[in-house]
Amino acid sequence: MDSLEVANFLIPGYHILSVKRKNAFITSEAGKKFTEAVQNITDVWKRYKDSSPWWRPFIVDIETDLKRIKENAEATRAALLELIKDSPEYREVVAQIYLKVLPQICPNFGLLNREEQLQLSRMDICESLQQLVIIEQQIGEVKSEMFQQQGMYSRSSESLLDKLEELQQKKTRFTHHWREMFATCEETRALRASIAEQLERKRILSAEKRKQRLQTRAGKLAKFFTSRASEQLSTQLIQGYSNELEKQQPNFRELEKEVLGNFIFRIFQDSTNLPFNYLDLEDLNLLVAYSLAEQVLTDFEARSGGKFNLDGWLEYYAQELNRVLEESLKGRRVLRWKKLQTVAQGQTEILGSLSYLFKNGATERFKEFMNRLSDAHAFIQATGFSTQNESSFLAILDLYNYGRTANQIKEGKDILTSLLSPFRPLYEEYYNIAHYEKDPVLKIVRTVMPLIIVSLMIVLVAALLSSIVIPEIAFIVILIPTILLGLALASKYVTVKEGLYKEVRESYYGGAFEIPEYQVNARMIHSFGGEEPAKTVRKIYIQELQRCDALERSFHERHGLLTNDELEARKANLLLRHTLALEWYDIHDNVDSLGCDKVPQIAFNRLLEIGRRDYQNFEDALAEEFPKLHQQVRDIIREIKESLSSEEASREQEERPQEEAPVTSAGTQETTRMNHFRSNYAPTLFKPVKSLACHERLKTLVASAETVGMAI
């Protein structure tokens, strides 16, 4: 143990004093006593080392000797401090030590002047700093010992690490405690006020300098666009800088990005609001504007305020605008529509569905063959030409003969059907009465009325012929056409009655598809899991039926002028109309043959079928209208570029002869927006009407198909 270590033991931190300060202290009375104490402890330690042979540790416990020496040194230090603690020289040395320690523990210590720093070092609050000095010395000793053991692994090295960590934590706790004392102690109030004043002065000075730099930067950044709106942008930036400087942690990069982003965003909004008013481009414009603002700032800092190339980022905006236009028109609904197609199921098991049987090709062919055989069989049975044989072999021959003569019999049947076609309304009337009329009174009335008409016709003819004397046989002969005329008149009555009833009923309910047969019923609500899905299915079916009716009317108006393709389209349209009607019957009224659990499958497959047609129409509309949209985007980009044109371009434009502006009521010519963005000027605005209509319909169909699919 040398004399410096002993001096640090007696006065912690003595080693950090300057040589001049040490010499001044040791020449004083207190310093002489301090030097004497150092010498005494050094001599004791030296005598102990000199009197201890190398083999002493093997026969004597040296820990006891070291403990005794340490206790003597502690006693010497206590006696020394008792002698010199009130001396001004000692207090000055301690204050100087504290001055060395305070910068690392006292926040903003450097803001105090020299007099205030000395004042703080002499305060009672600093007496505890000796503990920090001791802790620092212990940390230095542990690090020194660890350095000596570097490269060796032992339990002692682990113990040193633990001890070092413990000392570091102790230092942290002491620092935190001392700072709390400094912040709350009455003794340091004046010093804290001085520090606060210096901080405020420093903040104001720094803010002024920063504000000047920011104003210069704002001007350069605004001129970076070389735009006619640069003055407005510069004003916004300066105002934003002023607001940001009032914050404790200003973020000028984010401020510039926000101001520039809003500046570019307004230009984009003004330029796209009118041409693309059918789309919400606010999110796109905001996203691209802020992205471009980030690029502008990066390019501005890289070029140190040079001119910025507009073409690059305007081309980027054009690409983004084209992309989002396409995505907005197609949308996620189209992707979901494609996904729905992958889960579509057929109606292969819906055997109780009339619409399925009607559309099934095999069923149609079998039905046609059986109809021909049935016609032949009925004719042969009615004419008495059947063999009436029970032999299975002969029955096979009968079946063969039925098939062989079926075409001739069908032709004869068609002739009879054509001749009797005027009486078909009467047949349908009685068929309807027999199967669907529930009211007994109406059933009787409806049954009797055609008979009354026929009877009145016969009575009328008889009354007219009564004045003419003719034989009875002639009257009987005349009676046959009279009956036929009466039946024709009764059929006409039925036709007029049905037409009048239909018109009155549709007028009463509000339309052809507003009658109860086309309203949502309990079967549909139960099948689709709610009233809203059922209403959606009803709306789609009615739209499709109306579409078929409108198409048929257009074909009918051009009857005789249709091409072969149009004739085929008319047949397909009629087939679709019948299929839709049968599907609606299955969904709404086929309670005897089709269960409710099969109803959603019919509607779902129909929605998919409609969706396939509409999706193809949508693709065709996009292919037709997107080139025009791309051209419109190019026109808008050119317009934005003109709005952000350079000063040279602006001067050239001002030199050009301007068109005469309209004269206002005040007698002055109004030059509206001549020096502002020509954003809403568009000589020809194009709107993709077909694509938008197809997109909306697809959106509705996908939502409906998803809802109906959940009920399957």
Q: What is the pLDDT of residues 560-604, one digit of tens each?
A: 898 999 999 999 999 999 889 888 988 988 888 888 888 888 888
Q: What is the CA 331 to chain-centroid distance, rounded?
A: 11
Amino acid at 233: L
Closest by CA to 253, choosing from 294, 287, 223, 288, is 294
One domain, residues 60 and 205 = no
**Higher pLDDT among residues 529 and 225, named by residue:** 529
Q: Judge residue 479's burial from the number of C-beta atoms within 10 Å of its C-beta, 0-12 exposed, 13-18 middle, 19 or more buried.
A: middle
The number of folded domains in the chain is: 3
DSSP for 363-380, please give it: HHHHHHHHHHHHHHHHHH
Cα–Cα distance measured from residue 178 to residue 98, given in angstroms and rounded to the nearest whole number: 13
Same domain, 14 and 120: yes
Is 130 part of any domain?
Answer: yes
Residue 506 has, within 13 A of its CA and on its CB side, a CA count of: 9
* 140 and 221 housed in the same domain: no
Long-range pairs, 299-305, Cβ under 8 A, ≥24: 300/220, 300/221, 300/224, 305/220, 305/221, 305/223, 305/224
Residue 100: Cβ within 10 Å count:
15
In a domain, 256, yes or no: yes
Q: Do 422 and 299 belong to one domain? A: no
What does the pLDDT read at residue 448? 93
Residue, of 246 and 449, whose pLDDT is higher: 449
Tokens at 524, concatenated = 């549909």
Q: Report residue 553 as tokens.
A: 């009317």
- In this structure, the answer to whether residues 77 and 88 fall within a common structural domain is yes
* 198, 217, 242 - which closes a domain: 198
Average pLDDT of the chain, as a whole number: 76
Residue predicted with more confidence, 375 or 618:
618
Q: What is the pLDDT of residues 332-379, one digit of tens each?
A: 555 555 656 655 544 445 555 656 555 555 555 555 655 655 555 555
Phi, psi of 203 (to 5 degrees): -65, -40
Q: Considering 167, 198, 229, which residue would you say is the last residue of a domain? A: 198
Q: Is residue 580 part of a domain?
A: no
- Lowest-pLDDT choice from 178-187, 429-438, 482-491, 702-711: 702-711
Please tell me whether residues 232 and 167 are part of one structural domain.
no
**How many angstroms separate the Cα of 72 from the Cα of each of 33, 40, 44, 45, 324?**
16, 10, 9, 11, 88
105 and 240, same domain (yes or no)? no
pLDDT, tens digit (0-9, with 9 covering 90-100), for 352-361 = 565 655 555 5
Say yes or no: 291 and 183 in one domain. no
pLDDT at 542: 93
Q: Examine the fold and report which residue of 467, 493, 511 is the final residue of a domain before the chain moves on.
A: 511
CA 451 to chain centre: 70
Q: Tell me what the mean pLDDT of segment 467-488 comes to.
A: 81
Q: What pLDDT shows up at residue 553?
A: 93
Residue 480, domain extent: 412-511
For 251-297, the pLDDT digits (tens) are: 777 888 888 888 888 888 887 877 777 777 788 788 878 888 887 78
**Structure tokens given for 213:** 């730099």
Q: Could you tell me the pLDDT band of residue 544, with boundaries at 50, 70 and 90?
A: very high
**Does residue 520 belong to any structural domain of this protein?**
no
Specify the 3-state DSSP secondary structure of 356.
Answer: helix
Sign of CA dihedral 6, 10, 12, 17: negative
Quick check: is 153 in a domain? yes
Calculate mean pLDDT across residues 455-481: 80
Residue with tokens 């079967």: 523
39 and 136 inside one domain: yes
Q: Residues 35-74: pLDDT tens digits?
A: 888 777 787 777 766 666 555 555 555 667 667 777 777 7
Judge whether 165 lies within some domain: yes
Confidence band (pLDDT; 50, 70, 90) for 552? very high
Is position 285 within any domain? yes
Question: Does one domain contain both 218 and 179?
Answer: no
- 87 and 211 inside one domain: no
Q: Is residue 120 part of a domain?
A: yes
- A 10 A CB-CB count for 76 gives 19
Q: CA–CA separation, 630 vs 688, rounded Å?
A: 11
CA diameter of the chain:
180
| Lowest-confidence pick of 332-346, 439-453, 613-627, 629-643 | 332-346
What's the CA angle centered on 173, arms 169 and 176, to 5 degrees?
Answer: 135
- 392 vs 575, higher pLDDT: 575
When comparing pLDDT for 3 and 202, which is higher?
202
Q: CA torsion sign, 308 to 310 to 311 to 317? A: positive
- Whole-structure pTM value: 0.52
CA distances from 484 to 428, 480, 494, 536 (A): 17, 6, 15, 49
- Examine the domain organization and report whether 46 and 156 are in the same domain: yes
Mean pLDDT of 626-637: 84
